[in-house]
Structure 1
Amino acid sequence: MKAVAYNIKEFEKELLAIANRKIHDLTLISNELNFNTLHYAVGKEVVIVSADDVLEAKLLEQLKQVGVQKIVTRSLTTDHIDLYRAHELNIQIANTPYIDRSPKGIAEQTIRNLNLWEKGKCVGLACCCVKECGVLKSKNDETTEHRFDQ
């Protein structure tokens, strides 16, 4: 998948590269995602953000216009993303909810989400979409094979 990661700290670069294993076409940007940096997302399927990137309705609309279909936040919370507007725009949202909250663990979870999406699979516990897709989420379910029905 083609993805751009915003708000990347120096220590995250190598961790994401190692977790990615040259599978996905990743662009790593140290700037936050906003209207001035939106151009980095042109032609990307996925945007990877931090909790510091605020994705309100207008920014989500612009992301959709440039081709973004999915968003991964490298955080547990999603209160910085307008999930309802994302749902209306048919943008899938995932977070990094698993126990390993180390920078390495977050990088691995981020790439895991990309891997599952690329295979057309649901991201399980990481799914933050407001749409009911019928996937039962449990704390032990890290490898769900369910498909996200759109």
Structure 2
Amino acid sequence: MRIIAFDVRPDERAEFARQTAREGVDELVCRDEPLTAENAELVSGFDAVLTQGMVGYDANLLALLAGHGMRVLVTRTIGTDHIDLAAAERLGISVSNTSYAPDSVADFTLMLMLVALRKYKQMVYRQNVNDFSLPGLMGRTLSSLTVGVVGTGRIGRAVARRLRGFGARVIGYDPVPRDEFRELGDYVSLDELFSAADVITFHAPSTPDNFHMVRDETLARMRDGVVLVNTARASLMDVSTLITGIESGKIGALAMDVFEGEDEIYHAFRMHDIIANRDMAYLRQFPNTVLTQHVAFYTQQAVDEMVSHAVDAALRLA
């Protein structure tokens, strides 16, 4: 089998090199640039194409790639919301995502939770100007709080297991309840979770039903001073609602690893550029918001697993 991978980062290359020795892999070409309409002809002659998640593959681009012979597309991400799956099916393109152990995102989620609850951002800012005073820095302990987990898949359950270790009361919502979660917390309706939780962490996929789960009317049902953590998908939250919630104090703290409009910003060197995302800049400046650049997944273990599982999928589908 001949495989070509696009958008290959330096941290992936060691695992890609290891994958070249796998049985069934005749050739594995790695390219630094993303796969776009401008270089679509590069897929010609390959049995499978591996991509990342920073390019949107709509019907037009997929049709162009299919015209160059692409029949298998594997994204080295868990999410597939950047790919028009219906168009791919019509064009005869098999699509797969990849997976990795939930520990990387679960650990990062707990870190964001603690950073928000213990007001770490404010502490760092003060220390940088030799302000070592205490007023305004009093935090809260997880053991005194109810934490709502929206989405109880592998990552949501891994977060719940960690929360139990901190002594928090855990409640969860998922349209498909899982017995494994019942050992960690109690299932409630989404409305009950929104109204009962002091901290809400989101681990749901991006779907039409989940679009802007956090919006004006749902935020109104939450507790005053609620802490929101999102290491899942940016589309789960309406940014205008978040801004209003921070300004009014309804949201006590906000920690997000994803952001609407992050494409071509996150994972890129933009130090000398004008960033045309006003909402991102505005939210970042609040003392009780923490924005990270879509790095919850980013551990060596997860990177290696995403590469190896992508090759697994290519071998299976081609």
Query: Which amino acid in 1 is paired with 2:309?
Result: Q
Structure 1 pair 24–53 and aligned structure 2 pair: CA distance change class (3 A):
farther
Q: Secondary structure of 2:98's match?
A: coil
Match of 2:316 in 1: 116
* Displacement of 1:56: 0.8
Aligned residue number for residue 14 of structure 1: 14
- Once residues 13 and 100 of structure 2 are traced to their aligned partners in structure 1, the CA distance between those partners, rounded to angstroms, is 20
User: Which deviates the most, 19-28 or 48-57?
Assistant: 19-28
2:59 to 57, 60, 73: 57
Q: Which one has the largest radius of gyration?
A: 2
One-letter code aligned to 1:111: V
**Which residue matches 2:188?**
none
Structure 1 equivalent of residue 305 of structure 2: 105
Are the aligned partners of 1:31 and 1:37 in contact in 2 as well (CA < 8 Å)? no
Distance 1:88 1:117 in 2: 17
| TM-score (structure 1 length as normaliser) | 0.72
User: For 1:36, what is the secondary structure of its paired residue?
Assistant: helix
SS of 1:37's equivalent? helix
| 8 Å Cα contact 2:6-2:31 kept in structure 1 | yes
After superposition, the C-alpha distances for 1:5-62 in whole angstroms (9 at most, x for unaligned) are 1110011112112033152411111111111121211111211110112111111001
Contact 2:72 2:314 in 1 (8 A): no
> Which residue of 1 is the match for residue 165 of structure 2?
none
User: Higher relative contact order at CA 8 Å, sep ≥6: structure 1 or structure 2?
Assistant: 1
Bigger helix fraction:
2
- TM-score, normalisation: structure 2: 0.35
Deviation track 1:38-87 (CA, whole Å, cap 9, x = no partner) reads: 12111112111101121111110011111111100000101110100000
Q: Distance in 2 between matches of 1:32 and 1:63?
A: 13
Q: Secondary structure at the match of 1:11?
A: helix
- 1:4: which partner in 2? 4
The residue identity in structure 1 corresponding to 2:308 is E
Are residue 88 (structure 1) and residue 90 (structure 2) matched? yes
How many residues of Structure 1 are paired with residues of Structure 2 in the alignment?
118
Write the letter of the residue equivalent to 1:106: M
Q: After superposition, what is the alpha-carbon deviation per residue over 1:89-132, rounded to whole angstroms, capped at 9, x for unaligned?
A: 110000013426611111110111122234xxxxxxxxxxxxxx
Identify the range of structure 1 (43-52 vs 11-20) with the bigger mean alpha-carbon deviation.
11-20
Structure 2 equivalent of residue 134 of structure 1? none
Q: Which runs of 5+ in 2 are unaligned?
A: 103-296
- The CA RMSD over aligned residues, in Å, is 1.6
Percent identity over the alignment? Answer: 24
Aligned to 2:69: 67
Letter of the 1:15 partner, please give it. E
**Deviation above 3 Å: which 4+ runs of structure 1?**
none
